Amino acid sequence: MYEPITRKEKLKGEDYKERKMAKSEKLWLHKHNESAQEPDKDFPSIPRWGRDLIDIISDLTAKRTRLEMTQDELAKKMGVSQPVVARFENMGRIPSIEFIYKVADGLGVELKPLRMISPKLATDSEDDELDMPKPDIPRWQQNIYEIIADLTVCRLRQRISQAELARRMGTSQSVITRFERMGRMPTLEFIYRVADALGAELEPIQILPELTYIGFLNMRKVQKT
């Protein structure tokens, strides 16, 4: 038998929603260096990958708002449910790189892929197939292949063994081997952990407002010459 929701339960649910909205707003204020009413003491201690993740989620959420697109409309374009989009924007769960690209596609925006900032430690061969777009695989997957290849070359050029890299990261060599052989799609956190262990700096995933993905790759090749 249906039991009506009591006022107490309703207020409890509204309080939860308000706290979730306050959390998202606080993260947004931190991103834009504005003063939040209740400073989050833990925010500066968030690792780099976490801060970069907050940035791209905030930017994509702001883009959806500017397009006057509802969460439900975005969800339909992505082929998911509205609660999934809401959880993404409220940062209720750490999204995969694939899902970030999926949101961008739903919004019709291009992304600047995750890549290494140190060009001397990354792949720089003009004949490197990983520098060229692959029409047969999704862009998010190509981005992961490229960053794994760059980090692997970075390790080899520094003459760091897989065992030593694993020791620095507090993991096993088999995990590093699987990562470099692309045996499993790594999380954004793990990619940043590898970069940190190698002393490499990463440029985060960002929205490209006016530059197409092909144009970005052409610009990247020009910068290497």
Question: What domain range includes position 29?
Answer: 7-110
178 within some domain:
yes
User: 83 and 177 share a domain?
Assistant: no
User: 168 and 94 share a domain?
Assistant: no
User: 121 and 99 share a domain?
Assistant: no
User: 11 and 100 share a domain?
Assistant: yes
User: 121 and 76 share a domain?
Assistant: no
User: 192 and 102 share a domain?
Assistant: no
2 within some domain:
no
Which is it for the CA torsion 70, 75, 78, 84, positive or negative? Answer: positive
d(CA 106, CA 69): 10
- The per-residue pLDDT for range 100-132, each reduced to its tens digit, is 999 999 999 999 999 998 655 555 544 444 444
User: 164 and 126 share a domain?
Assistant: yes
User: 202 and 119 share a domain?
Assistant: yes
Q: For the domain that residue 47 is a member of, what is the CATH number?
A: 1.10.260.40
Q: What is the pLDDT of residue 32?
A: 46
| Residue 110, φ and ψ in degrees, nearest 5 | -95, 150
User: 100 and 148 share a domain?
Assistant: no
How many domains would you assign to the chain? 2
1 within some domain:
no
* HEC readout, 85-117: HHHHHCCCCCCCHHHHHHHHHHHCCEEECCEEC
- The DSSP code for 33 is T
Last residue of a domain, one of 59, 81, 110: 110
**Residue 223: which of 114, 101, 116 has the closest Cα?**
116
d(CA 116, CA 109): 22
Q: What is the pTM of this model?
A: 0.70
User: 126 and 183 share a domain?
Assistant: yes
- The per-residue pLDDT for range 136-181, each reduced to its tens digit, is 789 999 999 999 999 999 999 999 999 999 999 999 999 999 999 9
Q: What is the pLDDT of residue 224?
A: 52
